[in-house]
Amino acid sequence: MERHHPARPAPAAPTAVRRAAVLGKPVAHSLSPVLHRAAYEALGLEGWAYERHEVDEDGLASFFEGLGAEWAGLSLTMPLKRAVLPLLDEVSATAASVEAVNTVCFPGDGRRVGDNTDIPGILAALRERGIEHAEDAAILGAGATASSALAALARICTGEITAYVRSEQRGAEMRAWGERLGVPVRVAGWADAAKALTAPLVVATTPAGATDALAAAVPSRPGALFDVLYAPWPTPLAAAWSRHGGTVLSGLDLLVHQAVLQVELMTGRSPAPLAAMRAAGEEALHARTT
């Protein structure tokens, strides 16, 4: 008698690998891999990998040349947000408004498309805290993050925006960005930075330690502070702000909200899992401090 054996299932096809990464120098501290990988897991995206690569301006072009068809996108941190512009085929209006790209997508047709998720990320973080407009605002600092903050504030601020800077050159740059964005910017010297703290909305974009001396000048009834740092956290300024009952947003709020938008752009899946990404970021930060 002929025996019939059950058909063996065909071997599963290998999952196609899609790659993404964060580039910058230094980049070892970046939380982006934690956030993006948490999103992939929550979305059930198998075969997606997110890495970090230390790349400076001089190495950026050669890194791009080595990318294959499996690449979906890149997150860019300093010092690459402006250095990448000559390497792109297309730049969104948002990124062009501040000449800063923090996201590059590869749609599969050979193009390199640059975008800026910092600006809508700032707005989304503020909106999450119920801040949809401000009469006046102040920006501490004048770097690339400050220009993104200015672009965000230009959309919600109905009054004056004051930038507190350390040099006249930086002040001229902020005035130029204001003109480009269609919003008047008043520039003040860093010696007067304590006056910024009376604004209804303050965005601190300076490096760690730069605002520590301002903690003693926090008013008794502060408005909202958006401090773009997240490690170490809280900063002395943010801690003093909280003690006085003011609303405080951290760099993690910005990082999570801009990463949500990056995940959506790179994967085509929406909405990205904000809660899962935030939880992963908080867990990673807690692990670094224990």
Q: Please write the tens of the pLDDT for every residue from 153-166.
A: 999 999 999 999 99
Strands 113-115 and 90-91: parallel
pTM attached to this predicted model: 0.92
CA pair distance 189, 180, nearest whole angstrom = 22
CA pair distance 177, 185, nearest whole angstrom = 9
Containing 224, the helix (H) or strand (E) segment is strand 224-227
Indicate whether 1 pLDDT > 60. no
Contact 174, 143 (CB under 8 A): no
89, 123, 122, 83: which is closest to 101 by C-alpha?
83
**Per-residue pLDDT averaged across 117-125, rounded?**
98
Question: Tell me, what's the pLDDT at 90?
Answer: 98
Indicate whether 14 pLDDT > 60. no
**Per-residue pLDDT averaged across 105-120, rounded?**
96
Question: Tell me, what's the pLDDT at 11?
Answer: 45
**Does 108 or 53 have the greater pLDDT score?**
53
Indicate whether 272 pLDDT > 50. yes
**To 5 degrees, how large is the angle CA 122–CA 124–CA 108?**
85
Question: Of the ranges 10-19, 73-82, 149-158, 165-174, which one carries the lowest mean pLDDT score?
Answer: 10-19
**Where does the pLDDT of residue 124 fall: very low under 50, low under 70, confident under 90, or very high at 90 and above?**
very high
Indicate whether 6 pLDDT > 50. no
Question: Tell me, what's the pLDDT at 15?
Answer: 53
**Per-residue pLDDT averaged across 71-85, rounded?**
96
Question: Of the ranges 1-10, 29-38, 163-172, which one carries the lowest mean pLDDT score?
Answer: 1-10
Question: Tell me, what's the pLDDT at 4?
Answer: 47
Question: Tell me, what's the pLDDT at 215?
Answer: 98
Residues with catalytic roles: 81
Indicate whether 9 pLDDT > 90. no
